[in-house]
């Protein structure tokens, strides 16, 4: 696996792999500590290759455990500390790990060995010989399983292999600086865009500059830290870029060494590109696109001034090396320019399918009979012009809110678990540019609760936090006596969304 080879290589240098608010971790230490964890896994569990679940935020040792799992031939399953216990429990129940590394102190009894930071300290500090390649995750073996929002109300697992990640690195690294630098490590491990730092960044011997949840929530602290960071490469969702750009202080003076922004995960607005181009004259802006199922990103391109001036949306880029893109409508390939169709991704970054869900895998994944390439139907509508792709929206109820991938049905199913909710319909509320601002839920109650709308909404949000992470909890909760229906007899979501127009 490329990243493990490179880690081994840079461990012979004095480079720094990770910086966070408390400490720095050298490549040498990362290599040694991950060897120690791998050796412990191999000694304790032998040939058993069950995935290792890792719950936390951006702790130093989390990275060591992650690479340790890979060196021992095991996949890891990251669960962010913001995921509520019930949802984390579902994921752990599906994965059935033998080991859970828990930086949150919230992992319930699950029949696995649960390692706290105190348990880890002596374990990672022990000396271990380098782990021979024969134990590493092989090309076709899963390296991680990410759980994303699923339309049935249960998170769905997406395994990605070491071969997929190598192909992703080969495709992305030509866009990276030739050697070293400092990359922003803000994106959660549960979201695959973190791979731009963890896999591509480590493969280039870069330093991961860590921004944890507490820093993300405190702009003053964040800016103070960024000012000391020496950052050369910015990686984030456009939403996080926008949050920072709201402050005038977000400029080249704050980040004098910054040479590139890399955005991924959701629509990149013109306004953000214009602001950044003005405030960061020495940095170029890269837009990229990709679903978790095809390993982080499959398109990329630099956003030029001409693209910024163009009235079209900002393009998502061209296929990265090794990736083939196709557009399809009504079962036929769309070859003409500017003709929209569903985007199909083919090539070595496409993962094997969904974890334990052959039914879902069969619907979305395929193997092309003529080329033998693995393919994935994205559900994204796009068109292309001169090989440059433009995104025009989804064909289903999946959406992005502040960079988070959400299936509306997932929110509805979980709201229906609350004792007094019989049926829930959730709609996105968008701004004039079509960007989702927040979610609104319309609810049929089982029985009258005697509460005012405000008190009811507060109580329901509190209950919903047991099942849903904060970003999935609708901002508005409105009790209704019935749902409007469309001509097909389905809940008329457009009418529900329209009923909110003009409300703050």
Angle made by CA atoms 407, 296, 133, in degrees to the nearest 5? 130
Ramachandran angles phi, psi of 33, nearest 5°:
-70, -35
* Smallest gap from residue 291 Cβ to ligand AMP (A): 4
* Smallest gap from residue 400 Cβ to ligand AMP (A): 5
- Identity of the residue, 256 or 434, whose beta carbon is nearer to ligand AMP in the bound complex: 434
- Identity of the residue, 34 or 398, whose beta carbon is nearer to ligand AMP in the bound complex: 398
Site string for ligand AMP, 133-162 (x = CB under 6 A): ---------------x--------------
How many residues can be counted in the chain? 504
Contact predicate 232/182, CB 8 Å: yes
Give the CA diameter of the chain: 68
Residue 380 binding ligand AMP, by CB under 6 A:
yes
CB atoms within 10 A of CB 114: 18
DSSP category for residue 491: B
- Identity of the residue, 51 or 315, whose beta carbon is nearer to ligand AMP in the bound complex: 315
Stretch of 39-47, 168-176, 198-206, 264-272 contacting ligand AMP, by CB under 6 A = 264-272
- Judged by CB under 6 A, which of 264, 272, 273, 468 binds ligand AMP? 264
Residue 17: which of 238, 153, 221, 210 has the closest Cα?
210
Q: Where are the alpha helices (DSSP H) in 207-291?
A: 213-216, 219-227, 238-245, 270-279
Binding footprint of ligand AMP, residue count (CB under 6 A): 17
* Smallest gap from residue 267 Cβ to ligand AMP (A): 4
Angle made by CA atoms 290, 257, 285, in degrees to the nearest 5? 30
Q: Which of residues 56-95 bind ligand AMP (CB under 6 A)?
A: none
User: Taking the CA atoms of the chain, what radius of gyration do you get in angstroms?
Assistant: 23
- Judged by CB under 6 A, which of 292, 349, 402, 414 binds ligand AMP? 292
d(CA 317, CA 327): 15
Spell out the residues 6+ positions from residue 500 whose beta carbon is closer than 8 angstroms to its own. 427, 429, 440, 476
Stretch of 52-60, 110-118, 286-294, 426-434 contacting ligand AMP, by CB under 6 A = 286-294
Spell out the residues 6+ positions from residue 3 whose beta carbon is closer than 8 angstroms to its own. 67, 70, 165, 169, 198, 199, 202, 203
Stretch of 25-33, 168-176, 260-268, 407-415 contacting ligand AMP, by CB under 6 A = 260-268
- Identity of the residue, 131 or 264, whose beta carbon is nearer to ligand AMP in the bound complex: 264
3-state secondary structure of 426: strand
DSSP category for residue 201: I
Stretch of 167-175, 288-296, 348-356, 441-449 contacting ligand AMP, by CB under 6 A = 288-296
- Judged by CB under 6 A, which of 153, 291, 347, 351 binds ligand AMP? 291
Residue 289 binding ligand AMP, by CB under 6 A:
yes
* Smallest gap from residue 199 Cβ to ligand AMP (A): 15
- Identity of the residue, 286 or 496, whose beta carbon is nearer to ligand AMP in the bound complex: 286
Q: Which of residues 307-326 bind ligand AMP (CB under 6 A)?
A: 316
Residue 365 binding ligand AMP, by CB under 6 A:
no
Residue 407 binding ligand AMP, by CB under 6 A:
no
DSSP class per residue in 284-314: EEEEEE--GGG-S-SEEEE--HHHHHSSSPP
Residue 265 binding ligand AMP, by CB under 6 A:
yes
Stretch of 1-9, 289-297, 414-422, 423-431 contacting ligand AMP, by CB under 6 A = 289-297
Interface contacts to ligand AMP, rule CB under 6 A: 148, 264-268, 287, 289, 291-292, 316, 378, 380, 391, 394, 400, 405
């Amino acid at each position: 696996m490329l990243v493990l080879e490179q880690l081994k290589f840079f461990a012979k240098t004095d480079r720094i792999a990770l910086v966070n608010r408390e400490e720095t971790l050298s490549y040498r230490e990362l290599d040694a500590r991950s060897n120690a964890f791998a050796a412990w896994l191999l000694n304790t569990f032998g040939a058993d290759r069950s995935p290792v679940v890792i719950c936390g935020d951006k702790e130093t040792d989390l990275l060591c455990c992650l690479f340790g799992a890979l060196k021992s031939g095991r996949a890891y399953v990251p669960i962010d500390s913001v995921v509520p216990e019930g949802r984390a429990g579902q994921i752990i129940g599906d994965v059935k790990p033998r080991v859970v590394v828990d930086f949150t102190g919230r992992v319930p009894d699950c029949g696995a060995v649960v390692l706290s930071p105190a348990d880890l300290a002596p374990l990672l500090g022990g000396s271990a010989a380098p782990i021979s390649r024969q134990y590493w995750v092989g090309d076709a073996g899963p390296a991680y399983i990410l759980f994303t929002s699923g339309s049935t109300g249960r998170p769905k697992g997406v395994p990605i292999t070491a071969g997929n990640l190598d192909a992703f690195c080969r495709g992305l690294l030509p866009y990276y600086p030739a050697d070293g630098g400092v990359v922003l490590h803000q994106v959660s491990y549960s979201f695959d865009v973190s791979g731009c730092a963890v896999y591509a960044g480590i493969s280039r011997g870069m330093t991961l500059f860590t921004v944890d949840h507490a820093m993300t929530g405190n702009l003053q602290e964040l800016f103070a830290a960024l000012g000391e960071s020496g950052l050369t490469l910015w990686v984030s969702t456009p939403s996080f870029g926008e949050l920072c750009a709201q402050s005038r202080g977000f400029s080249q003076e704050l980040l004098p060494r910054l040479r590139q922004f890399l955005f991924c995960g959701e629509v990149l607005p013109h306004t953000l590109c214009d602001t950044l181009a003005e405030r960061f004259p020495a940095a170029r802006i890269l837009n990229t696109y990709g679903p978790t199922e095809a390993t982080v990103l499959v398109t990329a391109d630099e956003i030029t001034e001409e693209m910024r001036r163009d009235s079209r949306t900002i393009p998502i880029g061209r296929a990265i090396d090794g990736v083939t893109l196709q557009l399809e409508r009504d079962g036929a390939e769309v070859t003409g320019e500017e003709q929209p169709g569903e985007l199909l991704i083919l090539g070595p970054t496409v993962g094997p399918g969904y974890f334990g869900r052959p039914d879902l895998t069969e619907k979305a994944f395929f193997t092309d009979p003529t080329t033998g390439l693995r393919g994935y139907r994205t559900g994204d509508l796009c068109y292309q012009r001169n090989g440059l792709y433009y995104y025009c929206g989804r064909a289903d109820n999946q959406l992005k809110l502040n960079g988070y991938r959400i299936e509306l049905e997932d929110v509805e199913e979980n709201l229906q678990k609350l004792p007094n909710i019989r049926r829930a319909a959730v709609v996105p509320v968008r701004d004039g540019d079509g960007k989702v601002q927040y979610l609104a839920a319309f609810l049929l109650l089982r029985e009258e609760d005697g509460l005012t709308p405000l008190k009811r909404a507060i109580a329901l949000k509190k209950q919903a936090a047991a099942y849903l992470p904060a970003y999935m909890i609708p901002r508005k909760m409105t009790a209704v006596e019935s749902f409007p229906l469309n001509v097909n007899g389905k809940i008329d979501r457009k009418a529900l969304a329209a009923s909110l127009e003009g409300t703050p």
